[in-house]
Amino acid sequence: MHEIIVGKEGKIYRVYVENTMDRFKIALKDYKISGESKVFVVTDDLIYNTYKNNIEWLKIKIPFKIFYFKNGEQSKNINTVKKVYDFLIENKVDRESILIALGGGVVGDLVGFVASTYMRGIRYINVPTTLLSQVDSCIGGKVAFNYGGIKNIIGSFYDPEFVYISLNFLKTLDRKEILNGLGEIIKYGLISDGKLLSFLNENAVPILNLEHDKLLHIVIECLKIKNRIVVQDVQDLSIRNVLNFGHTIAHGIEVDSKYKIPHGVAVALGILVAIKISEIKLGLDKTLYNKLENLYRKFGLPTRYKVDNYKSFMYAINRDKKNINENINMVLLENIGKYKIKVNVKSEEILEALKLSIIKEE
């Protein structure tokens, strides 16, 4: 089994990275999850319908019960949280019981939150099924839901017992969800030592063909990079901020496109703008921008975006909760792997960089 250990002191846990769910049972045994514990699975309707006839791996626990909610970000709200609480109460879930979050980042974040609060916290296992959740959201302990139109505003830090990744899940994922994961993967490439970026450059076709050995390498690398950062700043007060690289502009793009541009793709575009600002403000080597554009083309990621409404675009950027006192704080790069967090950037500098990057004529 491939496994990596994540988390900090007294709170470490394993991430198993496998091709299939075949070894899930062994993982349960490793964690001494006994026959007495009742198992409850929470997922979304799309995953439920895709996999309902193919969940042999779950039959290790009979009986288990499944609850599913409508897929998508719009379900990541207090009503769904309530429905899951109701399901747990109806089924007499107790402190011995265990929840399995089977799904992408929406399911993982929401079920993690429910697990952290139900009976003051019960155990849960994360089984991430999207590329984004496998390379990113399945570790780090952030669990949350959206409230009052604000993303992830209600939440806590709560780790699963373990994470089990089966790369096979990615086979049923839409190409757009693969691109979504790639935006974050490229982010990890830029904030680490450059090896991951070279790997992406050399293996674009096999990665898009979902070849397992390539995906295995990527998933493990991203999780190791993320874990190295998270353990230094679990509560997200300082260095963890680097995980928002590309995200300030991405937020503007998501809002301006009325969320038609998915998060990971917006992050990829936001990275290009952040790279351009880094050239201007921190003297970042100018060749990196072209190299990145070429990488995006290999993967079919866009390199251009037409801002529809500059006012709402800039408003979204300014309102970003990562910014303090109206200043636009961004993560910028001095070089690959050498980043600066909370760099103060003026609106005019963003507009200038936009003209020189993603809104430039082809």
Ligand X SMILES: NC(=O)c1ccc[n+]([C@@H]2O[C@H](COP(=O)([O-])OP(=O)(O)OC[C@H]3O[C@@H](n4cnc5c(N)ncnc54)[C@H](O)[C@@H]3O)[C@@H](O)[C@H]2O)c1
Residue 170 CB, nearest distance to ligand X (Å)?
6
23 vs 76, beta carbon nearer ligand X = 76
Q: Which amino acid is at 75?
A: S
Kindly state whether residue 74 participates in binding ligand X, applying the rule CB under 6 A.
no
Binding positions for ligand X, 106-125, rule CB under 6 A: 106-107, 109
262 vs 302, beta carbon nearer ligand X = 262
Only one of the segments 40-48, 198-206, 253-261, 303-311 lies at the binding site for ligand X (rule: CB under 6 A); that segment is 40-48
Residue 148 CB, nearest distance to ligand X (Å)?
15
Distance CA(101)–CA(99), nearest Å, equals: 6
* Nearest in space to 58 (alpha carbons), one of 97, 109, 10, 22: 22
109 vs 256, beta carbon nearer ligand X = 109
Distance CA(260)–CA(132), nearest Å, equals: 17
One of 39, 115, 125, 132 touching ligand X (CB under 6 A): 132
Contact present, 274 and 331 (Cβ < 8 Å) = yes
One of 14, 23, 61, 142 touching ligand X (CB under 6 A): 142
Distance CA(302)–CA(27), nearest Å, equals: 39
User: In this structure, how many other beta carbons lie within 10 angstroms of the beta carbon of residue 121?
Assistant: 12
Only one of the segments 11-19, 52-60, 168-176, 301-309 lies at the binding site for ligand X (rule: CB under 6 A); that segment is 168-176
One of 48, 69, 118, 169 touching ligand X (CB under 6 A): 169
Kindly state whether residue 172 participates in binding ligand X, applying the rule CB under 6 A.
yes
Per the listing, tokens 């200038």 go with 352
Q: Is 205 exposed, middle or buried (0-12, 13-18, 19+ CB in 10 A)?
A: exposed
72 vs 194, beta carbon nearer ligand X = 72
User: In this structure, how many other beta carbons lie within 10 angstroms of the beta carbon of residue 323?
Assistant: 17
Contacts of 134 (CB under 8 A, 6+ apart): 128, 165, 167, 169, 170, 181, 219
Cis omega (within 30 of 0) for bond into 302: no
Helix (H, G, I), strand (E, B) or coil at 17: strand
Could you give the string, one character per residue 315-344, with x where binding to ligand X holds by CB under 6 A and - elsewhere?
------------------------------
How many Å separate Cα 134 from the centre of its chain?
Answer: 7
Distance CA(347)–CA(139), nearest Å, equals: 33
Kindly state whether residue 152 participates in binding ligand X, applying the rule CB under 6 A.
yes
Kindly state whether residue 177 participates in binding ligand X, applying the rule CB under 6 A.
yes
Kindly state whether residue 183 participates in binding ligand X, applying the rule CB under 6 A.
no
Kindly state whether residue 80 participates in binding ligand X, applying the rule CB under 6 A.
no
Contacting residues toward ligand X, per CB under 6 A: 44, 46-47, 50, 71-73, 76, 103-107, 109, 129-130, 132-133, 136-137, 140, 142, 151-152, 169, 172-173, 177, 180
